[in-house]
């Protein structure tokens, strides 16, 4: 890869990360190219229409990166032999939420998924997956393995899945905005244990604590991060 291409990829990553942090904090409408330029200490022209012709294109890049991270982690959990179920769901969500305090841009997709449906630009921001419907179906499939039959119909399971995801999103976004002393990791696990216990999943608090303390999960996360970094480099070489 030549130096010009390498610099272009580095600038793109810098812009997407800065935009992600701003999307997470201020939402879609509160984020501007001027704010992004100030965040990376560059002139507004550095963003350039050749990289991102519009704010919608930038939001699409943030969502695409988030979707790629979700799929990579899910694939890694599959390879590790973790079957569909509540433990896999908690492992996936926890892996994605860890690091948000040091990488606030990773909360951007949660805010954009909340903002975009109410805006006219929603149709412009298209990705290859990661829609709310797809995520809810995934959560339903995980819960189906462990929820007691007394929970009720498929509609009730879907409603619980939406509540679970919405509660998670709300806590993460409040954490990013308020930056409290309690670690996000611990706050999420307390929330999940409470919701899962209420739904009747056996020994939910034990399950959540086990996932939280898992050294194996930490190793899987590290492997996925390296995989994504290598993929980014390979993409740059291919696009040369």
pLDDT by 10s per residue, the chain, length 240: 678 888 888 888 899 999 999 999 899 999 999 999 999 998 888 776 668 888 988 999 999 888 899 999 999 999 999 999 999 999 999 998 987 877 888 899 999 988 888 777 655 665 444 467 788 999 999 988 887 665 667 888 899 999 999 999 999 999 888 878 888 999 999 999 999 999 888 899 999 999 999 999 999 999 999 998 887 665 544 443
Alpha-carbon distance values, 222 to 65, 179, 215 (Å): 17, 25, 11
List, in order, residues 6 or more apart from 112 with CB less than 8 Å away.
23, 28, 59, 62, 63, 125
Cα 74 off chain centre by: 12
> What are the structural domain ranges in the chain?
64-232
Please tell me the pTM assigned to this model. Answer: 0.86
- CB contact at 8 A, 6 and 240: no
List, in order, residues 6 or more apart from 197 with CB less than 8 Å away.
204, 205
Taking each continuous run of H as one helix and of E as one strand, the counts in the chain are: 10, 0
């Amino acid at each position: 890869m030549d130096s010009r291409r390498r610099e272009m990829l580095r600038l793109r990553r810098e812009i997407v990360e800065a935009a992600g942090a701003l999307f997470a904090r201020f939402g879609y409408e509160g984020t501007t190219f001027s704010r992004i330029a100030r965040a990376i200490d560059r002139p507004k022209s550095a963003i350039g229409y050749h990289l991102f012709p519009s704010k919608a294109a930038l939001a699409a890049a943030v969502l695409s990166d988030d979707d790629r991270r979700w799929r990579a982690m899910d694939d890694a959990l599959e390879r590790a032999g973790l079957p569909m179920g509540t433990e896999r769901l908690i492992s996936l969500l926890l892996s994605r939420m860890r690091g948000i305090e040091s990488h606030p841009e990773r909360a951007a997709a949660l805010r954009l998924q909340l903002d975009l449906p109410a805006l006219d630009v929603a149709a412009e921001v298209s990705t290859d997956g990661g829609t709310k419907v797809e995520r809810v179906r995934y959560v339903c499939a995980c819960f189906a393995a462990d929820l007691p039959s007394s929970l009720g119909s498929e509609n009730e399971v879907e409603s619980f899945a939406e509540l679970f995801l919405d509660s998670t999103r709300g806590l993460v976004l409040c954490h990013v905005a308020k930056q409290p002393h309690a670690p996000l990791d611990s706050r999420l696990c307390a929330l999940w244990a409470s919701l899962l216990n209420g739904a009747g999943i056996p020994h939910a608090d034990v399950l959540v604590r086990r996932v939280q303390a898992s050294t194996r999960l930490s190793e899987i996360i590290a492997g996925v991060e390296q995989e994504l970094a290598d993929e980014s480099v390979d993409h740059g070489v291919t696009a040369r």
